[in-house]
Structure 1
Amino acid sequence: MEFLSSKPLLITDTILRDAHQSQAATRMRLEDMLPACEILDSIGYYSLECWGGATFDACMRYLDEDPWDRLRALRRHLPHTKLQMLFRGQSILGYRNYADDVVDSFCAKSIENGIDIVRVFDALNDPRNLEQALRSVKKYGGLAEAAISYTVSPIHDEAYFLRLAQELAQMGADSICIKDMANLLSPMAAYSLVKRLKETVTLPIHLHTHDSAGTGAMVNLMAAVAGADIVDTALSPLAGGVSQPATESMVAALKGTLRDTGLDLSRLGSAAAHFRTVSASLEQAGFLDSRVLRVDASALIWQVPGGMLSNLIAQLRQIGREELYESVLAEIPSVRRDFGYPPLVTPSSQIIGSQAVLNVVTGKRYQMFSKESKAMLRGEYGQLPGPVNPEVLQKAGIREEDRITCRPADLLQPELPASREKYKALAQREEDVLSLALFPQVAEEFLIKKDRWSNSPPSIGFMFFH
């Protein structure tokens, strides 16, 4: 099998974001990152994914760090490398749709504070939920990477993804990302999809996968053979399992080939040596469980991401019904089919999983609905990929004429003026307003603490800002 491209394969390393989000509950601190920045900046990565996703919330909620301060610090210490973030479309970094003015301002401030590339995705693959973010990223000088949430269903065949890529390209995307959040993309399917995408659109193709089912490195390799321009990997101390395949392994596999990355294994080894100590600290603190490193092929059977599995276990444990785990797993594909085959990624994975738990625990399917389930069925999150089971709509008390058919954000009024007024005594800058708009309770508690400590410096030995 011959390489379909002779260009060096570009590498995005996720060590500063998705790697520790996936393996260590997003608990890596800025002080763990900064000592490695000089060597990371010298490696020659296409980009470093370092912000967005769950990091914004986790910084304030668990680490007593301001996410905006983190971004500015990383920008100062990584002057030669593009910085990348993950952005949930109209949901930004939260769990509901926000008004267009919040999306626009968040894009502006992210780029102003140091982000170069914004990967924008939508859990339902509804392009309307990407429109504003893509437009705003480009308006403020960032690179807009539009992501396809990859999944497997009777709806989601190769032709579906090709049509979606064409639509995203027409919307002004600078690159297309295949976002395989559950390692469902098989190596041969990756080869075929990348090859067809390269024939269909003229944009760079960026592949993001995980190694949950043990096929991540094979998926990346076959994508490289098919002509993918960029792949996501993670430095080895936080690679594999529910994280991305290892950077060093990918670089070594392609060394001396047409797609040689050109990256220096010794420099990668120096960076990895630092993160081995960080990984050990995270494990000692109880944030890194060896189970996240295991190959679990159940995702290929149930099509459930690893993070969703752990969430289901936690839900059942909370109500003392862990014995129902297998029954809930078996129910998830049925709920997903009834809901029109949404991809299982935040927030749809949580919604489908919780509904499956309700169906099994009550012993009667759809006797109870969560408010999020009803919102998804009504169309508040966007257009579901396939038709919804009409019996489920009836049980949820939703008439067909009540379902939303427009872009959901068109129903939202501007939010920032009210947020600025509400928090004028607390917010010292526009970034604070945005933090409060996305996470009102968490950000308010954090900013009150931040203000108190800035006026009364903590004792020596307590590091609040790094």
Structure 2
Amino acid sequence: MKKKIQFSLLYRDMWQSSGKFQPRKDQLERIAPVIIDMGCFARVETNGGAFEQVNLLAGENPNDAVRAFCKPFNEVGIKTHMLDRGLNALRMYTVPDDVRQLMYKVKHAQGVDITRIFCGLNDVRNIIPSIKWAAEAGMTPQATLCITNSPVHTVEYYCDIADKVIAAGAKEVCLKDMAGIGQPAMLGQLTKAIKDKHPDIIIEYHGHSGPGLSMASILEVCKNGADIIDTAMEPLSWGKVHPDIISVQSMLKNEGFDVPEINMNAYMKARSLTQEFIDEWLGYFINPQNKVMSSLLLGCGLPGGMMGSMMADLGGIRSTINNIRKKKGEEELSMDDMLVKLFDEVAYVWPRVGYPPLVTPFSQYVKNIALMNLLTLEQGKGRFVMMDDAMWGMILGKSGKIPGTIDPELVELAKAQGREFTDADPHTLIPNNLDEFKKEMDENGWDYGKDDEELFELAMHPEQYRNYKSGQAKKNFLADLQKAKDAKLGSQLTPEQLSAFKHAKADAVVAPVRGQVFWEFNGEGECAPSVEPYIGKEYKEGDVFCYIQAPWGEFVEVPAAMGGKLVEIGAKQGSKINKGDVVAYIERAHE
């Protein structure tokens, strides 16, 4: 009898591995029925990880988005799943127990079936409490093994972790090959070892395509008993993201596995919709390099999803290093030179900090230590002299037990700086604080939301939620979007062409008199300064756009032309302006 393989569509991770933002609620509502029509997915990754945070950053409500996206899948029996960072829950730093417990109640109520719980250090103490809380809330807890390739990350090492999380109540195990550097043969051996001992446990494989091993890995895990394979789809498959469902389905079908057929008409429609979302706004925050595979990733072990930010960081450090080299009369380094140096330095640092799996946030910590080492070595100061508390926290054990051994040099350096190592259970170091956020909600008159989901968002993402509630997040986002659009245009056009393009569909609002520009008088609150409006603000025909105080003292109202969206400001709050000067440009709403 043919072995049956199911597929999951990583609609959240496709976006996170490509760029900064996630689709809006209205876009998710449009794509969900088409994903269902494809007929090949038993599961869809709907949320988790950075999903909620970037919704808030875009001025959107993530709770509305999760509920709306999950609902159609719930109705047809497609399982929904989320990414859960264990001790860090949905963010990049530690979360108290009471907030983590609330998360599972909220997400289950919103329609999320499965939570994929991982710890970047594979410390079961960060996973087991979440297994218990998720099960109590009615969710299926899927425990995760973060796959990497080092002398300590053996089949036996991973099997020991699998035994512990299964004993704690995990119904499923995910092999999370987040950098795509897991060796196919080892992954096959690991899958077989877990299945031989725990035949009823569901195994799901998650691999990234960056270094080029993922298709071989998928074949190996399927031959050895894996049940579910994570996939992506065009236009966000391949590169440093995930293999495409079409290729995975074809390979497994021809190998003799029982796999579902793909409705290609629906696939093409979903592909077209996703491209539409990219073209509308999401593409302005996608790094083109994330569409490029690179075997160089095998050497450093860093996840493909962080290559964009790494290259930006490397460019900044390169400039500083080349200034130092120039003063010393040495030849400047190219970006290729710097990249090789960084990969070599990561290879030097990684074993010395105990081989933490290179997944969020530890991949960032290791990369940043290596990056700072390149700078301080060039300065003649040696290594490990520019490390912040987060980096040290990883080394000292505050985030969990490091898999390997910390280098004696770092042990001595910690002692010299008065830092102490700990083997305490990480979650016991974090006091509960949900009551503080309840108090804040009460004082502001904010509703806790359905199933306490708004309280949860504040407790999970305090700064981002406050900015969302005040409206500042939406203002910041629209300004960032306009900058991104300008930057993209600016890379293709001369300044004159850029200006002409931006203003082609816009009306110039001109000053009717000479004087001083006032956009507002009291700001948006008692203590808020008076400033110019944010880019993207909408005006109706006849709205007051701004005021100009004429030389004789009169405040002259300037109307918002025919209305529309503010795209450029030519005069700051309080600035002097002549009659006929352009105050701003408004993109017409009627076009």
Same fold flag (TM > 0.5) = yes
**C-alpha distance in 2, partners of 1:180/1:459?**
49
The aligned counterpart of 2:234 is 236
Matches within 5 A, 1:403-422: 403-422=421-440
The aligned counterpart of 1:8 is 4
Q: Which piece of structure 1 moves more, 444-453 or 430-439?
A: 444-453
Change (3 A) 1:459 1:134: farther
The aligned counterpart of 2:290 is 292
Aligned residue among 430, 435, 447 for 1:428: 447
One-letter code aligned to 2:470: I
The aligned counterpart of 1:271 is 270
Change (3 A) 1:6 1:348: same
Shift of 1:287: 2.7
Matches within 5 A, 1:303-314: 303-314=301-312
**C-alpha distance in 2, partners of 1:436/1:260?**
45
Shift of 1:214: 2.0
Aligned residue among 360, 366, 386 for 1:352: 366
One-letter code aligned to 1:423: M
**C-alpha distance in 2, partners of 1:76/1:29?**
15
The aligned counterpart of 1:339 is 353
Aligned residue among 228, 249, 252 for 1:251: 249
Counterpart secondary structure, 1:132:
helix
Matches within 5 A, 1:11-160: 11-14=7-10, 16-42=11-37, 43-61=39-57, 63-78=58-73, 79-80=75-76, 81-160=78-157
**C-alpha distance in 2, partners of 1:128/1:115?**
24
One-letter code aligned to 1:198: K
The aligned counterpart of 2:469 is 447
Q: Which piece of structure 1 moves more, 443-452 or 406-415?
A: 443-452
**1:192 partnered with 2:210:** no
Change (3 A) 1:148 1:399: farther
Counterpart secondary structure, 2:44:
strand
Shift of 1:26: 3.0
Q: Which piece of structure 1 moves more, 302-311 or 235-244?
A: 302-311
Change (3 A) 1:64 1:451: closer
Aligned residue among 381, 384, 392 for 2:410: 392
Asked whether the 8 Å contact 2:457–2:465 carries over to 1, the reply is yes
TM-score w.r.t. length of structure 2: 0.72
Change (3 A) 1:451 1:382: closer
Per-residue CA shift, 1:102-139, capped at 9, x if unaligned? 11001110111110010000000000001221111100
TM-score w.r.t. length of structure 1: 0.90
Asked whether the 8 Å contact 1:393–1:399 carries over to 2, the reply is no
Q: Which piece of structure 1 moves more, 383-392 or 112-121?
A: 383-392
Greater percentage in strand: 2
**C-alpha distance in 1, partners of 2:294/2:102?**
40
Asked whether the 8 Å contact 1:328–1:357 carries over to 2, the reply is yes
**C-alpha distance in 1, partners of 2:472/2:72?**
23
Counterpart secondary structure, 1:238:
coil
**C-alpha distance in 2, partners of 1:309/1:167?**
33
The aligned counterpart of 2:579 is none
Asked whether the 8 Å contact 1:341–1:385 carries over to 2, the reply is yes
Asked whether the 8 Å contact 1:336–1:352 carries over to 2, the reply is yes
Shift of 1:72: 0.9
- RMSD, aligned α-carbons: 2.5
Question: Which protein has greater RCO, CA pairs closer than 8 Å, 6+ apart?
Answer: 1
Change (3 A) 1:25 1:431: same
**C-alpha distance in 1, partners of 2:255/2:400?**
44
Per-residue CA shift, 1:338-357, capped at 9, x if unaligned? 11110011110111111112
Asked whether the 8 Å contact 1:165–1:201 carries over to 2, the reply is no
**C-alpha distance in 1, partners of 2:409/2:287?**
42
Asked whether the 8 Å contact 1:20–1:238 carries over to 2, the reply is yes
Asked whether the 8 Å contact 1:416–1:437 carries over to 2, the reply is yes
**C-alpha distance in 2, partners of 1:459/1:419?**
35
Per-residue CA shift, 1:310-358, capped at 9, x if unaligned? 3332223334347444322211122111111100111101111111122
**C-alpha distance in 1, partners of 2:20/2:312?**
14
**C-alpha distance in 1, partners of 2:272/2:310?**
34
Q: Which piece of structure 1 moves more, 411-420 or 395-404?
A: 395-404
The aligned counterpart of 2:420 is 402
Q: Which runs of 5+ in 2 are unaligned?
A: 322-332, 476-536, 541-563, 566-591
Change (3 A) 1:141 1:372: same
Counterpart secondary structure, 1:141:
coil
Shift of 1:257: 5.6
**C-alpha distance in 1, partners of 2:429/2:102?**
19
**1:182 partnered with 2:179:** yes
**C-alpha distance in 1, partners of 2:456/2:19?**
26
